[in-house]
């Protein structure tokens, strides 16, 4: 790559129309006479002289013939002027981008080495735009406006919107690096049944198996720790050639982890490909979110078996819950979480049956 650090960048430029006007005056030519000699309309010459039109290569050749000044000079003047104007506009955009970038978790991105910490404010803003793959703020708004609608509509939304979208973008980047087979709905449903059997396994066992099962049916499963002020558990969206399930690992207990996974899976199984589903605290409930909750709850603990268990059990002890969990093939902590959610158990009871763990997160390179 060429070194451009010491390249001369003048802080001024002259429009070729200004030079043209001076030359016409020095040669005693009126604009109308010059237009006639050059075979141009008076309006075209007027627009060039006033800086409202550029000197095209065709104009430059004509100017050379009529005025005796090289076409290269005219073309270079025009190019330099356009470049100057572009740089001026870019500086304005960068100034705006610096203020815009302050809304994002730049410190956390630097700590994760996604944005180098030694950059100045303008360079960080440019790096942030590059992270999102857009040229400027307007392009960012156009690209991520659909996500904006997805959860800014909630009056109870307490997360930082820019932090959430940044987390989604990082998950998207990780997903793009994952090789998956084409999405197969039937195969994904089969995979979910296999994944359910892993709920009582060690993370070192179920983590890789989940990844493989999802990848084989066209779903990229991403584990990505949350950013500050996101307050989210997971998200689902469709990329160009695959589905994405992103898990934030916010809640460290297995009942939360597995419910979140099957909740996100429900969006893939039951809902459309155009929307972005984000599992954020206090987000306004929608029909789709309620459907995903029911799917996750029923998939983990079938409704009939759960109702029979609740109605026939007078006291939920540690051993009784373990036996029921074993009979339906899931981790006891998931049963505890369901009983607590449905007010059959106090939230302070039997939490020792919930398994807490940390999944390994692959570092992200951008």
In the predicted model, is pLDDT for residue 156 greater than 70? no
CB atoms within 10 A of CB 24: 17
pLDDT score at 307: 96
pLDDT digits (tens, 9 = 90+) for 91-138: 776 778 899 999 999 999 999 999 998 999 989 999 999 999 998 888
In order of 87, 175, 359, the CA distances from 92 in angstroms are: 9, 34, 44
Please tell me the predicted confidence (pLDDT) of residue 8.
38
Q: What element of type H or E holds 225?
A: none
pLDDT in tens, 10-34: 566 889 999 999 999 999 999 999 9
Q: What is the pTM of this model?
A: 0.76
- Dihedral, 149, 151, 152, 157 alpha carbons, nearest 10: 180
User: What CATH class is the domain 16-100?
Assistant: mainly alpha
Q: In what order do the strands lie in the sheet with 219-223?
A: 219-223, 243-247, 232-238, 277-280
Give pLDDT tens digits for 185-235: 999 999 999 999 999 998 889 999 999 999 999 999 999 998 988 888 899
d(CA 170, CA 176) in angstroms, rounded, equals 10
| Percent of all residues in the chain with a pLDDT value above 90, rounded to a whole number | 68
Residue 96: per-residue pLDDT? 83
CB of 157 closer than 8 Å to CB of 141: no
Which ranges in the chain are annotated with CATH 1.10.260.40?
16-100
């Amino acid at each position: 790559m060429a070194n451009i650090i010491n390249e001369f960048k003048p802080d001024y430029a002259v429009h070729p129309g200004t030079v043209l006007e001076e030359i016409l005056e020095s040669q005693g030519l009126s604009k109308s006479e010059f237009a006639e000699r050059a075979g141009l309309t008076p309006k075209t010459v007027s627009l060039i002289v006033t800086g409202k039109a550029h000197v095209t290569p065709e104009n430059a050749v004509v100017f050379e013939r009529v005025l005796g000044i090289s076409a290269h000079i005219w073309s270079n003047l025009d190019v330099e002027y356009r470049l100057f104007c572009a740089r001026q506009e870019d500086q304005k955009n960068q100034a705006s981008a610096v203020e815009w970038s302050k809304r994002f978790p730049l410190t956390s991105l630097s700590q994760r080495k996604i944005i180098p910490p030694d950059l100045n404010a303008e360079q960080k803003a440019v790096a942030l735009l590059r992270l999102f793959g857009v040229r400027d703020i307007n392009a960012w708004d156009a690209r991520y406006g659909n996500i904006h609608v997805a959860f800014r509509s909630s009056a109870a939304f307490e997360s930082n919107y820019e932090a959430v979208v940044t987390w989604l973008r990082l998950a998207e980047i990780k997903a793009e690096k994952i090789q998956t087979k084409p999405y197969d709905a039937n195969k994904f449903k089969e995979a979910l049944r296999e994944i359910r059997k892993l709920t009582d396994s060690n993370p070192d066992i179920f983590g890789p198996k989940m990844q493989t099962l999802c990848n084989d049916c066209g779903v990229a499963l991403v584990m990505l720790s949350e950013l500050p002020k996101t307050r989210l558990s997971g998200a689902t969206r469709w990329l160009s050639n695959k589905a994405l399930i992103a898990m934030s690992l916010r809640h460290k207990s297995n009942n939360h982890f597995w419910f979140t996974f099957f909740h996100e899976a429900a969006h893939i199984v039951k809902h459309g490909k155009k929307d972005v589903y984000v599992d954020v605290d206090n987000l306004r409930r929608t029909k789709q979110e309620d459907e995903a909750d029911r799917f996750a709850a029923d998939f983990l603990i079938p409704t009939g078996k759960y109702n029979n268990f609740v109605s026939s059990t007078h006291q939920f002890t540690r051993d009784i819950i373990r036996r029921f969990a074993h009979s339906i093939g899931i981790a006891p902590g998931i049963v505890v979480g369901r009983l607590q959610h449905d007010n059959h158990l106090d939230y302070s009871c039997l939490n020792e049956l919930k398994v807490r763990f940390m999944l390994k997160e692959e570092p992200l390179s951008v």
